[in-house]
Chain A
């Protein structure tokens, strides 16, 4: 099977600060990131003809963002599926470019969740009862952490998964974060108490937030943002950096259903199509950028992506398999330090694309030698109830 090279990531930028101290707005983060990503590609504003936006800047998402940037795009896509929005945007950009509707697509994200003291994980009380689904749940006080924790509890019950096994996710991610100066700075700015590599015992022994998830299994709440530029092959060939091809994409949705197995995420539906389209299998992946809102998110998705069988994730991740310096053992996980230890302003999906592209360019702080294939998987919404999954398989020439 020949891999199609229809669209490539040609420009990336991750906004460096995780604590903007009220000095910069989400819109300004988006615009600055867009300019830096276009510059990274060797392109300019006038090259952009397609805009993808999750609407976190407020207003009429796509319309207001086009004007703010000073663009008159032929394509606007305002898909918002939470943290997986950017995997959806990448998939849609590939689709639109392949269809000849666009040549240069711009994806941006900006958030000041930390500065606004937004208690994302432990706010509780749901989203206010406006939607009928929320109106059934609002009374229970299920925090976001508890929502994910209920998946972990069930995973432990069905498969014997342990806290020590889940801790492996946090340990590998922190190991990578300590090698990334921006992640280390982020942990300082967000006043992490003990900034160092961690052990399984550290993680499993940290304070319980919502049983069975501990503090060091939960992502940070930062400010931040970023941008990604995706271009058609004829544009990509002339860009500054090597093209990072979008080889395959998949999307899927899951929500509470009577009798549903909560340990299986929407990734089980989104992944097969993405790998099939790319003509590769999970065991060929050098890099796995998986949305690490919590340890259990990664463990569940590793299984659903097909790295191991359902229920075997716990033993599969043991022994540091996911570290960047053990490429023969399995994919390197979240080599930027992840949402757990580098950057999580609320919707982390764009950073999965950015770090995967860095790896395939050879630019990561925890570079896997000769990395050729990567998978980025975003999970938006809530793993334990309703969520969207976006899988993007990427490769270089």
Chain B
């Protein structure tokens, strides 16, 4: 059984993000000089010429900006997972990230754009993967 492809935990720009996931913390950077939200993580601010980025923690809530249900994959891990949903998630704090929407009976019929979602963590040895599940009444 193949494993989910995982991020490298030694990549210079994104290392701190993945370290935080070990404690189930979903983080992003904000520039303390100009206020720009920087995501994906970097060492420099993309809004000003500074480097005074501070890590903020997201509450993990957001909405589905758009999604697709993958019906066919040749990847050794994902080919057994079809159909599964990939989505761009807009976190309430601003960052938009790519993830999976899980915890639905049928991804084809149970997901819609604008749907409220909340993070749920999938544990691995060195990190946790942020997935999202419905968060609506």
State the A residues within 8 Å of B (CB): 119, 122-126, 129-130, 132-133, 135-143, 145-146, 149-151, 153-154, 157, 207-213, 256-260, 262, 385
Contact = CB atoms under 8 A, between A and B. Distances in A.
Contact of A140 (B14, B40, B66, B86): B86
Contact of B5 (A126, A150, A210, A256): A126
B8 interface: yes
Given A125-B78, A141-B73, A145-B70, 18 more contacts: A119-B74, A123-B73, A125-B5, A130-B8, A132-B40, A135-B8, A136-B41, A138-B7, A139-B4, A140-B98, A142-B68, A145-B68, A153-B68, A154-B65, A210-B72, A258-B95, A259-B94, A262-B65
Contacts of A149: 68
Contacts of A122: 72-74
Sort A-B residue pairs by CB-CB distance and give the 7 closest, nearest first. Answer: A149-B68, A124-B75, A132-B13, A154-B66, A141-B78, A146-B68, A211-B69
Contact of B39 (A213, A258, A262): A258
B97 interface: yes
B: interface residue count bin: 35 or more
Contacts of A119: 74
Contacts of A262: 65-66, 88
Interface string B33-51: 0000101111000000000
Q: Which of A133, A146, A209, A257 has the most CB of B within 10 A?
A: A146
27 contacts: A119-B74, A123-B73, A124-B70, A124-B75, A125-B77, A129-B11, A130-B8, A132-B11, A132-B13, A135-B14, A135-B40, A136-B40, A136-B97, A136-B98, A141-B4, A141-B75, A141-B81, A142-B68, A143-B73, A145-B72, A150-B88, A154-B65, A211-B108, A256-B96, A258-B95, A262-B88, A385-B98
B63 interface: no
A211 B74 contact: no
B80 to A, nearest CB: 11
Given A136-B17, A211-B69, A262-B65, A124 B7 contact: no
